[in-house]
Chain A
Amino acid sequence: MSEPILSCRGLTKRFPGVVALDGVDFFARPGEVHALMGENGAGKSTLIKALTGVHPRDAGEAVLAGKSIHPRSPREAEAAGISTVYQEVNLIPDLSVAENICLGRQETTLGFIRWGAIRERASAALARLGVAVDVDKTLSDCSIAIQQLVAIARATDISARVLILDEPTSSLDDSEVEELFTVVRRLRDEGWAIIFVSHFLDQVYALADRITVLRNGKLVGEFLAAELPRLQLVAHMMGRSINEVEALQHREPPARPAGEPLVSVRGFGRRASVRPLDLEVRRGEVLGLAGLLGSGRTEVARLLFGLDRADSGEMHVEGKPAAMRSPQASLRARFALTPEDRKSQAILPNLTVRENLIIALQARRGIWRKIPRQEQDRLVSQFTRALGIKTSSPEQLIRNLSGGNQQKVILARWLATEPRLLLLDEPTRGIDVGAQADIERLLAKLRDEGLAIIFICADTAELARNSQRIAVMRDRAKVAELTGADLNEQAIMRAIAHGDASHPSS
C-alpha cells in the first residue's frame, strides 16, 4: 500500500444553518481508485467542492504531495494538481475535440494559435487513454460517452496526479460505462490517484479499491472494497442495521388485483417512436416497463401522457374510448408523469418548494382560479410530512435541495392532483439509497391505495421487486410480458436479450 498523495484532515465546511462537512479525513493514494459514497446530503459534493476550490474549506488541512494547498477556484486546484471531470460534461459543444482539450492552454506563436501543435497535443492526450477519435470532429457530434472521455483527456492533459470523477456514468449505457472504466483503470495503473463518486453500487464494486463512506457530513469510515460486503456498505450509508436493510430488500408484491383495466391500449404506437403495442393496467397494480436505454420505454410513457401523439391504435380509460392529445388533456384525465430527466423536464429550479409542489394542481385549475395561500401551505406541509421531504422551509428554492428530495417534491406535485394513473420514468435515478427506499415504499403504499402505476426503471432487480407485471421493450417494440414466477432479474434479462418465446408479443 503506497503512501497517500493527497491527505485531508478535519475538513470542515459550514453553510448558513448547516455543517455540510464536519471534520472529515480523506486520503487518496496513487494507483488506487477511491470511491466516495454516501446518501444525498451526506457531504460528498461538498468534499469534492472543498478539494476543487469551488467552496473553500472553513477548517482542516489538505496536503498534496507534501505541500499544503488552499485552492480558491477549480483553476487553482488544477494548477496544484487536482483535476476534475464533472457529472454533466462541461465542455463547449460547438468546438472541435482538439479545441476542447486544449482550450485555455493553447500554444501560440506571436499571439497566433498553432493549430498543428494543438491537434498533436489533443491526439496524444487521447492516445494515452487508448481512445481513437478524430480530433477535428465537432464535440456535439460525438456520443455522450466520447464527450466524457474527451473531458477526461482534457483533465489528464496536465501534470496533475489526482483525478476526481464526479458521477461520470450517470448518462452512459452499459457498454459505454465499460469503455470508460477501461480508461480509468489504465490511468490508475499509470499511478493516478482517482476519486470516484457514483450512486451505482455495481460500478463502485467493479472499479474501486477503497471506499470512504460519509453520512450527514461526518466520516463513517474508510474501507477496502474487497472487505466490505455490499449490504454492510448500504447499512453504513443509511445509518441502519443490516437486518433493517435486508428487510427492505425482501418484499413480495401482492398478486395482481382483479377488475377491469383502468387504462388499456391496443395497437398503440407512433411512427419512428414506438411500434404498435397492447398494454393494460388496473387500479392497485404496478406495471413495470423494462428494456435498455433507447428501447422505447420512455417513448411509451410520452405517448400515454400525450407529450407525443399516437398515430395508430386506440386507448380506453375505464372502458371508454379516450385520446391524450396533450399534457393538459392528461392532467384533466388525472394522469401523472414524473419524467426521466429531473433537471431539464421536471424542476423549476428558481421557484420555491411550495411553488414547485402546487404547480400541476394549479395548472389543472387554470389561470384564474388561484389556489388560496392557506390551501397551498396545507398541501405543502401535508406532503413534506408524508414523503419525508427534507427542506429548511417551504420557501426554499428547489434547486438547493438534494436530488432525492427534489424527486420527492416532483412526486408530491403529482400526488397533489390525486391521479388515477401514475407514470414514473426512472424515479430513483441519481438519488441515494435512503431516498430510493422511501420512494419504493411509497410506490407500494400508493398501489395499495388503488392507484394504477406504470413504473419504468433501468435496474432490473428494482423493477422485479416492485412490479406485479413487467412489459419488456426491445428495439421500440414490446417483446414480452412477464408475470408471477417470471418476475425476476434473469427472466427480464432473457426477455431483453432474446424476447421470450413462451410469452410472444402481440
Chain B
Amino acid sequence: MWIDLVFWAGFAGLLWVNRSRPVFWPLLALGLLLLFNRFTTPGFFDLEIRDGRLYGSLVDVINQGSKVMLLALGMTLVIATGGVDLSVGAIMAIAGAVLAQVVGVAHLSVTVAIVAALAAGLLAGAWNGLLVAGLRIQPIVATLILMVAGRGIAQLITDGQIINFEQPALVFLGNGSLFGLPFTLTLVLAMFIFTALLVRGTALGLFIEAVGDNETASHFTGLSAQRVKFLVYVFAGFCAGLAGLVAASNIKSADANHAGLYLELDAILAVVVGGTALTGGRFQLAGSLVGALLIQTLSTTLYARNVSADIAPVPKAIVILAVCLLQSPVLRGKIARLGRFLPKTKGGAA
C-alpha cells in the first residue's frame, strides 16, 4: 500500500505548501472528501489497467470533470472582471454541432472540423464581448441571450438531426488515453498552463483584476476596460468551444439539446468555490480547477454510493455551502476567535 501512502503524503504536502493561499480551503474540502471515500466508499480508489489504460472512479472524476474545468478557466477571467457568462453551455452545443456538421455532413478533414468548432466558440465569445463591452449591456442579460438562443442555433446547424461520427482522432479527444491517463487530463493541464501564461506572463491578469476591482479608477488610469472585457468573453468562448469538442467526442455525436446542459452553472460554482469573488477583482485560476474537481468528485461519490440522481443535488449543495462558509471572512473570524489556530488567508471570498 505504498502508493496509498505516497498519495496522502503528497496531498498533505500540497495543503501545507498552500496553507496561506486562498486555494487552501477548496483543496482541504477536496482532501476531506477523498479521505471520506477512502474509508467508506468501497472501490473508490481502485485503479485497474486494461489494454494499457487506467480505469477507476478517480479516472472518471478527471474525465467527467474535464469539461467543467475547461469552462471554469474562462469563467474565472470573466467573473474577475465583475461579469458572468451564462452562455458557455450553449456555446458547447454550437461547437459540437459545427464539428459534427463539418465531418459528418460536409465530409471535410478532422483538422478543418476542429478549427471550425473552435472558431465558432471564439465567434460566440466575441458576440458576448460585443454586447458587454461594446453596447455595455449587463453581462447577465447579455449572455442570457446566447444561452437561450444558442441551442436553437445548434439545431439550425445540424438541421435538427443528431449527427454521428466515427473518426478515430475525434473519438480520441474525449475518450482516448495518453501515457495510461485520460487525454482530457493532458488537455486540461495544457489549457491551464496556457491560461496561466496568458494572464501572468502578460499584464492581462493585472488589468482584469484592476477592472474588476474598480472600473472607474481603471478608466482614469488610461486602461481600456472595454477591451479587457471583450478579451475575457472571447477567451471564455474559446474554452467553451474546447469543452464542446470534448462533450461531442464523449458521445461521438452532436446533441444540440443536451450537450453542456447546465454546465455553465457548475462552472460558475467551481469558480466561486475556488475562491474568486463574484464581485470581481482578484482571481484564483488554480482554485477554480480545484473547485471543478471538488464538484465532480462529489457527483462521482454520490453515483458510486448509489444515491439516486434525483436527490443527489441535495448532499452536493450541503457540501458546497460548507466550503463557501469556510471561505467567509466573517465566519472564519468567529472560528478563529474560538480556536486561534486556523491559518490566515489573503483575500478569498464566499
Contacts and interface: CB of A to CB of B under 8 A. Distances in A.
B220 A362 contact: no
Residue from A355, A360, A362, A364 having most chain B Cβ neighbours under 10 A: A362
A160 to B, nearest CB: 27
A347 interface: yes
Given A351-B209, A362-B206, A344 B217 contact: yes
A407 interface: no
B40 interface: no
Given A350-B282, A359-B210, A368 B220 contact: no
A366 interface: yes
B158 to A, nearest CB: 37
A177 interface: no
Interface stretch (A37-45, A94-102, A324-332): A324-332
Interface in A329-347: 330-331, 337, 339, 344-347
B229 to A, nearest CB: 13
B221 interface: yes
Given A328-B222, A360-B221, A344 B216 contact: yes
B220 A307 contact: yes
A349 to B, nearest CB: 6
Contacts of A307: 219-220
Nearest to B209: A351
B203 A348 contact: no
B235 interface: no
A365 B223 CA distance: 10
B210 A368 contact: no
Nearest first, the 7 A-B pairs at minimum CB distance are: A331-B222, A327-B222, A363-B222, A348-B213, A363-B223, A370-B203, A350-B281
A62 B210 CA distance: 42
A365 B206 CA distance: 13
A362 B203 contact: yes
A375 to B, nearest CB: 12
A344 B203 CA distance: 23
B202 interface: yes
A157 B132 CA distance: 45
Given A351-B213, A370-B201, A346 B206 contact: no
A367 B222 CA distance: 12
A359 B221 contact: yes
A355 B210 CA distance: 9
A209 to B, nearest CB: 39
Contacts of A363: 207, 221-223
Residue from B216, B221, B224 having most chain A Cβ neighbours under 10 A: B221
Contacts of B224: 328
Contact of A360 (B222, B228, B282): B222
A328 B224 CA distance: 7
Interface string A219-235: 00000000000000000
B337 to A, nearest CB: 11
Given A350-B281, A350-B282, A367-B204, A359 B214 contact: no
B202 A349 contact: no
B10 interface: no
A410 to B, nearest CB: 9
B222 A366 contact: no
A478 interface: no
A345 B217 contact: yes
6 contacts: A348-B214, A349-B213, A349-B214, A351-B210, A363-B207, A363-B222
A327 B220 contact: yes
Residue from B219, B220, B282, B347 having most chain A Cβ neighbours under 10 A: B220
Contacts, number: 75
Given A349-B214, A350-B213, A371 B203 contact: yes
Given A327-B222, A328-B224, A370-B201, A359 B206 contact: yes
Nearest to B219: A327
B56 to A, nearest CB: 41
A210 interface: no
B37 interface: no
A363 B220 CA distance: 11
B61 to A, nearest CB: 33
B202 A370 contact: yes
A413 interface: yes
B230 to A, nearest CB: 12
Contacts of B57: none
A419 to B, nearest CB: 11
B155 interface: no
Interface in B106-156: none
B206 A339 contact: no
Nearest to A358: B206
Contacts of A345: 216-217, 220
B345 interface: no
B203 A366 contact: yes
B218 interface: yes
Nearest to B208: A367
Contacts of A360: 221-222
Contact of A368 (B202, B222, B282): B202
Given A351-B209, A351-B213, A355-B210, A346 B202 contact: no
Interface in A360-392: 360, 362-371
Contacts of B223: 359, 363
A335 B74 CA distance: 35
B200 to A, nearest CB: 9
Interface in B307-347: 347
Nearest to A331: B222
Contacts of B222: 327-328, 330-331, 360, 363-364
Contacts of B214: 344, 347-349
Nearest to A417: B222
B284 to A, nearest CB: 13
A367 B203 contact: yes
A413 B221 contact: yes
Contact of B221 (A327, A344, A367, A368): A327
